[in-house]
Amino acid sequence: MNWHSMTAAKAAQALKSDAVNGLSNTEAKNRLEKNGSNALKPRDKPSFIVRFFAQFKDFCVIILFVACIVSFATGFIEGNGDFVEPVVILIIVILNAVIGVIQEQKAEKAIEALQKMSAPSASVIRNGKSERIPASTLVPGDVICLESGDMVPADARLIAANSLRVQESALTGESVPCAKEAEIILDENCAQADRKNMIYSSTTVMAGNCKAIVTETGMNTKVGRIANLLAAEEAPQTPLQQRLAKVGKALGIGAVAICAAVFLLGIIRQSGILPSFMLSVSLAVAAIPEGLPAVVTVVLSMGVQRMAKSNAIIRFLPAVETLGAATVICSDKTGTLTQNKMTVTKICSHSGEISAESDVAHKILLYASLCSNAKEIKKGKLSEITGDPTETAIVAAAKSVGIKPDPKNHIRRHETPFSGERKRMSVVCTVEGKNMLIIKGAPDVVLPRCVKYLSANGEMPLTANRKSTIFSQNESMAKKALRVIAVAYRTADSTQDSREEDFVFAGLIGMTDPPRPEAAKAVSVCKRAGITPVMITGDHIATARAIAETIGIADKSTTAMTGVELDKLSDDELKKAVASCRVFARVTPEHKVRIVKAFRARGETVAMTGDGVNDAPALKAADIGCAMGKSGTDVAKNAADMILTDDNFATIVKAVEQGRGIYDNIRKAVHFLLGTNIGEILAVFLASVLGFSSPLLPIQLLWVNLVTDSLPAIALGTEKTEKNIMLRKPLPPSHGFFADGLWLDISLEGAFVGALTLLAHAIGNFFFGGVGGTMAFCTLSFCEISHAINTRSSQSLFKNGVFSNKTMNIAVAVCIALQASVVCIPPLASLFGTLPLNAVQWLVVGVLSSMPLIMGEIGKLFGRNQEY
């Protein structure tokens, strides 16, 4: 239907809706069932079967299948009926594939849960009442209200628009925001880009506000039709996963070379082609950490879930990797470092502070309230004032002295909305039958537009000396950390008057927003962790500095800079200035981008907070963009890597701590997996070189890879963040994943595990009459468990807590029980080629297996691995 070619009233009639009261909840529910969710149809997910067979694309698994086929064929040709080994290998490979699918689904579900938590919402009128609902529940006929910064949730016909400008570049390609009008009616064949009375899903309100009636939802919207044309794309791997994949590939090439050598040595020693082939192939599969990317994904997703519980929603997994390396946190002041509970504490006229009960103060508060979008909402017997914190403080102050705008005598006719660039808002209101243009905003923006001032004796000419006095009052209030708002007025030329000049200055309103109780502590933690906290605000420089000094961001030795001063600096000069500047005041969104780039030019990793439409470029420019969950606009949230659900600076610091912990846990898992794989390779390779029989059968190698590798590796991902983690300096971007001697540790520990396995093999054969293979098998499995426990922390196990990781406790218990079962249960022992062990032999296995843990504790005692 051509909604743009009919009036809003006819559109509402066609949609069987009410442009004033909206739909009833019952009707909305019925329409939702009929039309479906207001969401783009997600790409079809592969079934469990498809996912299962996708696991067999791995090159190593293909080799295993070839080995199985060769083994089956050989057993059939030789007629010995020995199909146990290939069958067990096949079962283990299938089980490994099932675990891979389950891990993928768990990670996917975790991300879906987080996406639901950050899903957009919409302001809708139903049953004549305004309420906020999930955007996915909108239906055709719903009446929605939008403001600057909102993402348009569905295609809609405008009912009313006030200075509305919408960014439609995603749909039309127009780079300039489009001005919208509700009253016009357009030709049926009008191009989409010219439909000024329509707004479309996924576009952005850049300025103004509006009321509109929803015409299309979900896949019926313009963007939904485009979505139907798009091919599904696979999610890219994170940088960390890509690095680890390269490592795995390099290790795989090395492992294949070693396995080829093992195969040739077996042929030379006449061990038989099939046994040598099977041993080399299974060794290759056991050595290559093909499960490493999956483990990384699981560890990341578990960490992200933990962060979500701490009020930090990570929108992209790679952000976790960057969080731990943050060196600078650029934070807004209001609501992030402070409580966002503004309270009016001072009112000044042209001559100084006046009582809130005075006539002039009453006029100041009335005009300020009229030039405000804060609303009082009744909730039963109680009422709540909602809206911008500054405006709610003004309305609350006016209410406290008995001033409350009357809808009949105080009617708003026009609004020129506030923006970060304008730093002011103006409205035309009918006040007791007379049209008045009222402006409120920053004193340094409002006062130059005034030609008179209000006094007890009426309106007087505003001289230069009087302006200087008022500016001095503003400065004095700002030094006391008060936010100062100037209020002025004049008779309006018309109901649409937007000429912001020739005003009568009414007065100044001073209010304060106290620091959050936890802000000072969070700032202190930042500094100890080598992170520089920086305040960036649109407030007066004196106000900003006072708060910054209170919570510890700034001191007497640091500098503060205004946007005007920043404009005078070149990029190179700003790069030098940010080294000592900790407070940036009176800045615009463009300034924020320059500040972020200046810090990054110095090699810093920058986290940046933002909540407005114009903060999106700075959020994108930063290494980590942090949007505010409560006060943030949809645009800011979509540009951010992380959303703070409580708008709290302390949450950013906690998120950095969690990010460091997640990075550490991934490093621990990689440390463990690569070390154990090297141990497996060396044990078999050295036995072949030295002329011994192989200490491990192919089935045993696969078992170790499946059980004692995967379970402890995942358990390491649940390890708690170490207590000293925020006493460490951030890792620079150039810091390699295997830096600080990690490769050496992995190699030495792998060699140690391999040596212990060979020693167990030798002891079993020379002293206990042929149980060397079983002792080597058990020693390798239990060594890996010891190695996993040792890898849990860089600190002593006794400091960290022996049983503090419940998941690791379960993994260890399960691994021990399963390993014991393949030795002690006859049918399983037959399958895995193991022999029963007596108490002494188990004791030897236990002593050898505990050596990695003992040596690790000794190394930690003497300072080895104290920090990654």
Instruction: Encode 380-410 in three state secondary structure.
Output: CCEEEEECCHHHHHHHHHHHHCCCCCCCCCE
Residue 216, beta-bridge partner list: 155
Q: Specify whether 444 is catalytic.
A: no
DSSP designation for 569: S
What is the 3 state secondary structure string of 156-198? EEEEEEEEEEEECHHHHCCCCCEECCCCCCCCCCCCHHHCCCE
Q: How far is CA 101 from the centre of its chain?
A: 25
Whether 368 contacts 360, CB under 8 Å: no
DSSP designation for 694: P
Q: Find, among 351, 291, 300, 298, the residue nearest to 104 by Cα.
A: 298
pLDDT at 230: 43
Cβ neighbors of 666 (< 8 A, separation 6 or more) are: 240, 296, 299, 300, 717
> Strands 624-628, 606-610: parallel, antiparallel or unpaired by DSSP?
parallel
Cβ neighbors of 457 (< 8 A, separation 6 or more) are: none
List Cα–Cα distances, 516 to 527, 547, 627, 646, 648, in angstroms.
18, 11, 18, 12, 8
* Model pTM above 0.85: no
Whether 694 contacts 688, CB under 8 Å: yes
DSSP designation for 41: P
Cβ neighbors of 249 (< 8 A, separation 6 or more) are: none
DSSP designation for 372: -
Cβ neighbors of 371 (< 8 A, separation 6 or more) are: 425, 426, 427, 429, 438, 439, 440, 487
Task: List helix spans (H) across 429-501.
Answer: 443-446, 464-479
What does the angle CA 218 – CA 223 – CA 228 come to, to the nearest 5 degrees? 80
Whether 178 contacts 165, CB under 8 Å: yes
Phi-psi region of 542 (alpha: psi -120 to 50; beta: other; left: phi over 0): alpha
pLDDT at 866: 44
Q: Find, among 627, 616, 618, 615, the residue nearest to 652 by Cα.
A: 627
Read off the tokens for 575: 């790069």
Q: Find, among 643, 339, 627, 649, the residue nearest to 524 by Cα.
A: 649
Q: How far apart are CA 516 and CA 9, in angstroms?
A: 48
Roughly how many angstroms between the first and final C-alpha of the chain, as a whole number?
Answer: 63
Whether 622 contacts 329, CB under 8 Å: no
Helix (H) or strand (E) segment spanning residue 450 = strand 450-455
pLDDT at 102: 72
List Cα–Cα distances, 385 to 397, 457, 484, 487, in angstroms.
11, 34, 20, 21
Q: Which residues of the chain have pLDDT under 50?
A: 114, 230-236, 238, 865-868
Of the residues 142, 155, 332, 647, which is catalytic?
Answer: 332
pLDDT at 317: 67
